[in-house]
Structure formats: C-alpha cells, structure tokens
Amino acid sequence: MVEIPSDVVAGWPAPNYADPETKGPALPTIVLLFYVLATSALSVRLYDKLKISRQFFAEDYLIILSIVPTTVVTIIVLLSKWKYLIDRHTWDLPPQYFRPAKILVTVDFVFFFLASTFVRLSFLAFYRRLVAHTKTRLYQCTIYVTMFVTAVLAVAYISALLFRCSPVKAAYDFNPPTFYPDYPYHCTNREMILFTGSLLSTILDFWIMLIPIPLAWQLDLPLKQRLGVLGMFLLGLLICTCGAIKTRYLYTLFSTYDEVWVSTPIWILSALELHIGILCSSAPTIRVVVREHKRCFQEWRYRRYATTGSLTILVSPETAGSYV
C-alpha cells in the first residue's frame, strides 16, 4: 500500500462495500494449482532420496527449506483474497483492512524473496556438485560468486523493505482517511525497493539459467543426456519470464494509487515463479522415480504367476520368451 495524497483520495469514487468489482477466482485457483504441483514434485523428490537413491545433497536440503516460505506465501495469497479482500479497487477496501493488508503484503514480499533465494541456492548447489570433481576452476569460482551475490541480494532486499521507515511502524500507519501517520516519520520509496529487487532478481535468474549451458557440453555424457540436461535447465526460462513480467507490473505501481487492484497479477506471478522453480529443480529426480517404477513394474509383470492349462508357473524375464 502506498502513501496516498489527500487530493487523490478526494477524487476517488464512492466506496462500494456491498457489491464491489473484483478480480474473480483466478488468484487462489492458479496459486493453489501450482502449489499442489510443486509440493507433489517435492514429495516425489523426497521419495527418491529416502527410498531409491538414499542420499541427500546440499541442493535437496535447500529446496526443502524453500517449501516453508513458499507455503507461507501461498497462505498469504489465500488470506489476501478470502479474508482481507485484496482483490478490489483501493477505494472499495473497508478502512479496517488497510493496516493488516499493508502488513500482509510486506510479509508476503519478505517470504517470497526468502523462498526464491533458497530455490536459487538449490540450483547453484546442484551445479557445484556437478563440477566438484572436475578441473573447471572457473565454473567453481563462478558458482561460488553467484551464491554470494544471491545471499547478499536477499539480505539487502529484505532489510531495505523491513526498515524502510523510521520509526518502522510508520510503514503500516498510513490509514484512511488521511493515509499519513500523525507523528514525525521518514520513509524511503517502497515501490523503488520492490522494483529494483525484482529487476535484479530477474537478471540473476537469467544468469543462473545460463551457467549450466556451457558446462553441460563439457561433461562426459552421451549427447542425448546432454540435451536432456540442457532442456531441464532451459525450463528455467519460465521462471525468468515470470520475473520479467512481474517486474513490468511492479513498474506500474509508480503511476497508480490503486495498488490493491493492479497488484493481483504480481501476486500470481510471484507464486508461479516460486512453484515453477521447485518443479524445475525436482525434474531430474522425477525422471529417476518414473524410470525406477517402470523397471519395478516390468519385473513384476515378468514374475507374475501365469496359468497354462493345469500348470501354474512363475514367469521370469529369462523364461518369458519361451511362452510367446
């Protein structure tokens, strides 16, 4: 929520609390759908680590950590729609919802950046493991530097957002009808913080997506597997696309005071960015689990009991061809 001048408030239409125009069910529907997909992919990944490969790496712990703030973001999105009515024009929002809505939006941005940081670090930890036993020192240094930049960006963004006002509570005391605190305060421009953070994050996502492309061609893998690795990481382009579009929507906050209305696409794109990131990072283990279950099914099929006349025999892969 932005600081709204009194002359702007005076020009707003009369509030409609009974039957206001809203954005509809798109926000909770899309967010819930992709949250289910992301958590399902993570569940498959955990199954692989616990039952098949039986080993965890740094990237696994990081992606598990990411699901906690991702869940918080999902809950906040649902609360914003169903409880705090952040899906309508600002002038149609009941006054008692302004302060909790401001707090909710800030918490959402903080947990979103925290979750996206864990997802980025998970990708980078995976890259680091790929080159850990090779002589590609340049790539190792590149990955470590990118990890450092990712962590610093997260700390800087979250700190700037949480402590943008002095005193801190002034960030949430812009309540109607004045939309200004009744005590001395100083605040930095929140929209500039959000836009700059989103822009830098999108650039960082593009960079992280590009890192494994030359690396994949240097690994001692068959061409088919190399292309598979490249294809998996190029799925990260979806994350970059979501981030770029979200940054464009954040830019519109500079030119409007109807933030509640224009922020719905930002909420959707933020959630998609997180969920697609978890899906992409779990793609390799999903393939492993599918291949393992396919192998188990084939073994079960070959070992099933078959009845030929009055004789019941056990068909194995070695003898299956005798009965064809």
Judge whether residue 89 has pLDDT over 80.
Answer: yes
Phi and psi at 313, nearest 5°, equal -125, 165
> Residue 189: what pLDDT?
87
> Residue 138: what pLDDT?
83
Mean pLDDT for 308-316 is: 45
Query: Which residues pair with residue 88 across a beta bridge?
Result: 22
Q: By C-alpha distance, which of 152, 151, 183, 153 is closest to 168?
A: 183
Phi and psi at 246, nearest 5°, equal -60, -40
- Strands 165-166 and 186-187 turn out to be antiparallel
Q: Provide the residue type at 315 as one letter.
A: V
Integer Cα distance of 257 and 288 in angstroms = 49
Mean pLDDT for 64-68 is: 94
Judge whether residue 125 has pLDDT over 90.
Answer: yes
> Residue 296: what pLDDT?
58
**Tens-digit pLDDT profile for residues 138-164:** 888 999 999 999 999 999 999 999 999
Q: By C-alpha distance, which of 262, 268, 258 is closest to 250?
A: 262
Write out the two tokens for 42.
Answer: 């993570």
Neighbours of 200 (CB within 10 A): 15
* Domain 6-323 architecture: Up-down Bundle (1.20)
* 82 — pLDDT class (breaks 50, 70, 90): confident
Integer Cα distance of 269 and 193 in angstroms = 18
Let me know: does 199 contact 251? Beta carbons within 8 Å: no
Let me know: does 261 contact 2? Beta carbons within 8 Å: no
Of 126 and 236, more confident: 126
